[in-house]
């Protein structure tokens, strides 16, 4: 566990230090792959890539503009104790008195260097990226495991529901989905925490060294997405089952099991696959509520704390990380979908159609 942990921590540090480079690298790689493997997707991928880069630029600009309009105390540590001259001096040293376009240029330059500035309130004068690097790995591991768990629970459940419509598993699954969607997450999270810890006779809080304490937070985190995977898969599979090509496949003698997997499941999975990278990345970014419930020292609570403290550089970095995660997730989802579904082909070929 410890060695694994160190590995993840190292990964986290590396990622947070070079995040923008990495994002760009991923984007370029994705584009390259699309270029090589799926020639017909080239134009689509490039278009999609361009859109992503543009979105990223817009987000950077918006974050920049918003934060320059925040009260200046967010940029200066120990604001209350300083005199007016000292504050001005500080602002000047940070380059915040320069004209806005110059500030923006410097901001961009620093971004590409991976320099997000120093924390002003949360942990004074420490590099923002260092703070995040400490927090991110734990959220990452928890997120990846809970994502895997939700897929493992949600996909078979959805498939079973569709296969035996109206029978036990369908009813069970429907009850589960309705419960998860109707009851506020906070309520069942607390129930799971209280009764779960009691049942397993462990502490309420999470401790890194004790694998048993990992179970409940991961389980809680995976419930929501498991329910939605099951719900959507069931729906898409039932859609497919009633289609003509399934009837033709049956008529040509494809046995039920093969029919379900080779035709129904595969085709139903296409519309779902689009959202999986995005949701993976979001779970990696940490669950706000569960992390605070089990006092997990992850990334989820950091943003809220930073906003509360008005630690502008930290907020700025976090907001950009979250939006990058979103953009990359959507991009990957679209590319994945395009590779799987041959109909998504935005290049017009003459003659065929």
Partner 1 sequence: MNEPILSVKDLNLKFSLRGQTLHALRDVCLDVYKGESLAIVGESGSGKSVLTKCFLGLNDANGYIESGSILYEGMDLAAFKKESEWLKIRGREIAMVMQDPMTSLNPLRTIGAQILESINLHQKNLTPAQAKTKMLDMLDQVGIYDPEKRAKQYPHEFSGGMRQRVVIAIALACKPKILICDEPTTALDVTIQAQILKLIKTLVKESGITAIYITHDLGVVANVSTRIAVMYAGDIVEIGTSEEIFYDPRHPYTWALLSSLPQLGVKGEKLYSIAGTQANLFARVEGDAFAPRNPYALKMDYVKRPPYFELSPTHKARTWLLDARAPKVEPPEIIRKLSRREVDLNG
Contacts with partner 1 by CB under 8 A lie at 243-245, 247-256, 262-263, 266-267, 270, 340-343, 352-353
Closest approach, Cβ 35 to partner 1, in A, equals: 20
Q: Which is nearer to partner 1, 307 or 340 (CB)?
A: 340
Q: Which is nearer to partner 1, 271 or 297 (CB)?
A: 271
Closest approach, Cβ 184 to partner 1, in A, equals: 37
Closest approach, Cβ 205 to partner 1, in A, equals: 47
DSSP 41-74: GHHHHHHHHHHHHHHHHHHHHHHHHHHHTS-GGG
Q: Which is nearer to partner 1, 39 or 243 (CB)?
A: 243
Tell me the Cα Rg of the chain: 24
Closest approach, Cβ 273 to partner 1, in A, equals: 12
The contacts found for 109-118 with CB under 8 angstroms, 24 or more apart, are 111/20, 111/60, 112/20, 112/21, 114/17, 114/18, 114/19, 114/20, 114/21, 116/313, 116/316, 116/317, 117/313, 117/316, 117/317, 118/313
- Structure-derived torsion over alpha carbons of residues 279, 281, 284, 290, reported in degrees to the nearest 10: -30
Closest approach, Cβ 259 to partner 1, in A, equals: 10
Q: Which is nearer to partner 1, 146 or 267 (CB)?
A: 267
CA distance 52 to 231: 29
Q: Which is nearer to partner 1, 165 or 208 (CB)?
A: 165
Closest approach, Cβ 243 to partner 1, in A, equals: 6
Closest approach, Cβ 255 to partner 1, in A, equals: 6
Q: Which is nearer to partner 1, 71 or 255 (CB)?
A: 255
Q: Which is nearer to partner 1, 85 or 244 (CB)?
A: 244
Sign (positive/negative) of CA torsion 191, 196, 199, 204?
A: negative
What six digits make up the tokens of 52? 């992503």
- In the three-class reduction of DSSP (H, G, I as helix; E, B as strand; rest coil), residue 222 is classed as helix
Integer angstrom CA distances of residue 148 from 95, 229, 351: 45, 12, 44
Which run of H or E residues covers position 282?
A: helix 276-284
Sign (positive/negative) of CA torsion 268, 271, 272, 277?
A: positive
């Amino acid at each position: 566990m410890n060695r694994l942990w160190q590995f993840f921590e190292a990964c986290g540090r590396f990622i947070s230090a070079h995040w923008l480079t990495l994002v760009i690298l991923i984007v370029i790689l994705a584009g390259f792959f699309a270029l090589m493997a799926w020639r017909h997707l080239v134009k689509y991928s490039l278009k999609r890539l361009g859109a992503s880069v543009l979105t990223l630029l817009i987000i950077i600009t918006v974050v920049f503009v918003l934060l320059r309009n925040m009260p200046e105390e967010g940029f200066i540590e120990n604001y209350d104790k300083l005199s007016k001259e000292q504050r001005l001096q500080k602002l000047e040293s940070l380059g915040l008195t320069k004209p806005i376009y110059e500030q923006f240029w410097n901001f961009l330059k620093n971004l590409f260097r991976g320099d997000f500035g120093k924390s002003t309130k949360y942990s004074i004068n420490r590099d923002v990226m260092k703070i995040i690097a400490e927090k991110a790995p734990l959220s990452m591991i928890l997120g990846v495991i809970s994502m895997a768990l939700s897929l493992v629970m949600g996909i078979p459940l959805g498939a079973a529901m569709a296969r035996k419509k109206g029978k036990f598993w369908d009813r069970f699954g429907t009850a589960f989905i309705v419960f998860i969607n109707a009851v506020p997450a906070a309520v069942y999270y607390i129930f799971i925490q209280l009764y779960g810890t009691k049942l397993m006779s462990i502490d309420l809080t999470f401790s890194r060294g004790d694998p048993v304490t990992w179970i409940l937070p991961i389980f809680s985190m995976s419930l929501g997405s498991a329910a939605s995977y099951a719900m959507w898969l069931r729906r898409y599979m039932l859609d497919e089952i009633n289609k003509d090509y399934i009837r033709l496949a049956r008529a040509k003698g494809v046995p039920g099991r093969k029919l379900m997997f080779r035709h129904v499941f595969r085709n139903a999975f296409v519309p779902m696959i689009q959202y999986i990278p995005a949701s993976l990345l979001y779970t990696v970014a940490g669950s706000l509520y569960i992390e605070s419930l089990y006092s997990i020292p992850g990334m989820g609570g950091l943003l809220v704390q930073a906003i509360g403290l008005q630690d502008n550089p930290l907020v700025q970095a976090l907001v950009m990380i979250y939006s990058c995660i979103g953009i990359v997730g959507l991009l990957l989802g679209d590319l994945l979908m395009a590779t799987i579904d041959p109909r998504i082909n935005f290049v017009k070929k003459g003659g065929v159609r």
